[in-house]
Chains A and B, each alone.
Chain A
């Protein structure tokens, strides 16, 4: 069973003459442990695809299946529960709640899901610790650097038993070293069994993925082939004498 499946998913905004096809007939399957990047220019439908994959928005047509559960016809409450338990989101602008500490931000989704506060804190601390942030647990978002805030956001996205991580330009506001560490964390989450989808226009970020899907005008126009082993790059291509 794949973690995320999108079949023939389309989204149309507006009515009549004002209709805009945001995405059209998207087919996307993301397995446990894999990292898929969606690359495309602004307005290509990347963010729409991600919000539909995370059930934050309804498709106009097509099927979205998360961990085998079809979202079509699911009640609002059931969808909300599925989101809380299975899906983690990472946004470009972090979206941390300013009045809560890092630890409280991370454990909040578990508390909302009914877990007792103490248990939620223990799991939240474990997630922070896993990302090297244990010593920042009691800091508020405005006391953290951009890179630290995004790491807290990733901890919040993977806390508990989440199986699907969705990230929209997760390092858009960060410098290249922090961007790299964010992608490394997402990749580590995948090695731990999470399936991740990252949308980005940045090839340096997309290149962390196992597979890159290219989006253009709402359609998936192409994708990368399985790359050969990295050792090929380092094979005895002897440098020419200058």
Chain B
């Protein structure tokens, strides 16, 4: 979540004061992400330092200053919007680690571990879905933000279901130890720092 770029986007609509930016940021994210006003002023200072935003007001008190986006700021915003987030490397995923560890431990029922996580995530999804119940309250920004969270959680459930199925099939088939396996595994480099 880049506050820096979100504020630049709001400034691209026209000059604004800090309190206005805070209010508009929260509205534009469907009030799913909240900001404190200190974060807004710290971010504005950095944007000004980097030449991405400027103010013609000379007051010491930042609350009194009206900020606008610079040409360089506009270019930075355009570049950021089109730069894909880095999804090329698998992120460190605590849940994946837990299931991998559980699957190796003889005294742990990995399926029970998976179910604990599945239940927790479905409960989270129930809470997010409740936010969509009241259609009248469901403005577009809010709906987009809630959907993003639901789809993210749903992908975790899908992985848990797939892992559950794969582990069940593996437990009913004869096991092949890594030493016996003649197929070389592609190495997946993770940011966990775990090296094989």
Contact = CB atoms under 8 A, between A and B. Distances in A.
Interface of B, helix, strand, loop or mixed by DSSP = helix
Interface residues of A, number: 34
A217 B124 CA distance: 25
Interface centre among A204, A222, A239 (most CB of B within 10 A): A239
A227 B122 CA distance: 10
Nearest to B132: A180
A222 B115 contact: yes
Contacts of A140: none
A20 interface: no
A225 to B, nearest CB: 7
A49 interface: no
Interface stretch (A6-14, A24-32, A164-172, A229-237): A229-237
Nearest to B143: A180
Interface stretch (B11-19, B35-43, B98-106, B180-188): B35-43
A233 B35 contact: no
B34 A207 contact: no
Most A-side CB within 10 Å, residue of B35, B36, B122, B165: B122
A230 B127 contact: yes
Given A207-B128, A241-B3, A234 B122 contact: no
Contacts of B195: none
Contact of B31 (A209, A234, A242): A234
Chain B: number of interface residues, binned into ranges: 35 or more
A221 B109 CA distance: 14
A140 B4 CA distance: 54
B73 to A, nearest CB: 16
B123 interface: yes
A206 B119 CA distance: 11
A39 interface: yes
Interface string A85-128: 00000000000000000000000000000000000000000000
Contacts of B132: 180
A203 B122 contact: yes
Nearest to B2: A242
Contacts of B122: 39, 203, 206-207, 212, 224
B133 interface: yes
A242 B115 contact: no
29 contacts: A201-B161, A203-B122, A204-B150, A204-B151, A204-B154, A207-B126, A208-B126, A208-B129, A214-B115, A214-B119, A221-B115, A222-B119, A223-B119, A225-B123, A230-B131, A233-B32, A234-B31, A234-B32, A234-B34, A234-B131, A238-B35, A239-B1, A239-B3, A239-B33, A239-B34, A241-B42, A242-B1, A242-B2, A242-B4
Given A204-B150, A239-B35, A242-B4, 14 more contacts: A41-B165, A203-B122, A204-B125, A204-B151, A209-B126, A221-B115, A224-B122, A225-B119, A233-B32, A233-B127, A233-B131, A234-B34, A239-B1, A242-B3
Interface of B: 1-4, 31-36, 39, 42-43, 115, 118-119, 121-123, 125-133, 135, 150-151, 153-154, 157-158, 161, 164-165
Interface of A: 39, 41, 180, 184, 187, 201-204, 206-209, 212, 214, 221-225, 227-230, 232-234, 236-242
